[in-house]
Amino acid sequence: MKIIGVNGSPRLIGNTSAALRALLDEMEKDGHETEHLQIYDEEMLPCNACMSCRLRADGRCINENDRLNEYLETLYSADAVILASPVYFGSVTSQMKVFMERVGLCAKYAGNKLRRKVAATMVIQGNRGGMMAHAELVNFMLDCHMIVCPSSECAVLTAEGPKDLEGDVRNMRVIKDLAVELDWLLNRLKE
């Protein structure tokens, strides 16, 4: 099955990227195809509520000046989507927010193209704010009619400095547990 990991961090090799890569590596060990999207280096314009996506209902954004439509096609072809973001002032990054707004509207007005895709979140906090960011990601997934994968512990990981994530036993346990739950859910749904 195809799993897309979307990294909303501005750091290509930071803790969020490392956590997402660790999860995708676990999924590959279970035989799944994975892809790691780094959206932060895109200069995506925020949604301006032009509602062209509603009028056209083709699952695409009218703004062709960035790679969002390419990302949409990737998401539509996936079986599962993982959204990962560090916490910035108690929320997801601004780039992840823009991504969710534009993806959400385009998918919704094209017949809920993300409906029934398995979804999971990963949030990296310095020391607080992770649950709010996690709630934002889960609310987006539920609004898109996605199946949110549970795990024994919420995937809100704590890592302040570089490499803090990899040295923390709890963080790595949560990542492995989420991989087990994702694999189980994907396999049940394909039966």
pLDDT of 191 > 80? The answer is: no
Supply 55's token pair: 């009028």
Residue range(s) defining the domain that contains residue 128 = 2-190
Domain count, the chain: 1
Extended beta strands in the chain, E state: 2-7, 33-38, 80-86, 118-125, 147-148, 156-158
Could you tell me the pLDDT band of residue 151, with boundaries at 50, 70 and 90? confident
pTM attached to this predicted model? 0.95
Q: What tens digit of pLDDT does each residue of 135-147 get?
A: 999 999 999 999 9
126 near 158, Cβ under 8 Å?
A: yes
Supply 151's token pair: 């795990």
Q: What tens digit of pLDDT does each residue of 166-179 get?
A: 788 999 999 999 99
* Strand-strand pairing, 80-86 and 2-7: parallel
The enclosing domain of 122 has a CATH number of 3.40.50.360
pLDDT for residue 30? 95
pLDDT of 162 > 80? The answer is: no
- What is the overall mean pLDDT for the chain? 94
pLDDT for residue 152? 75
Provide Rg for the chain, Cα atoms. Answer: 16
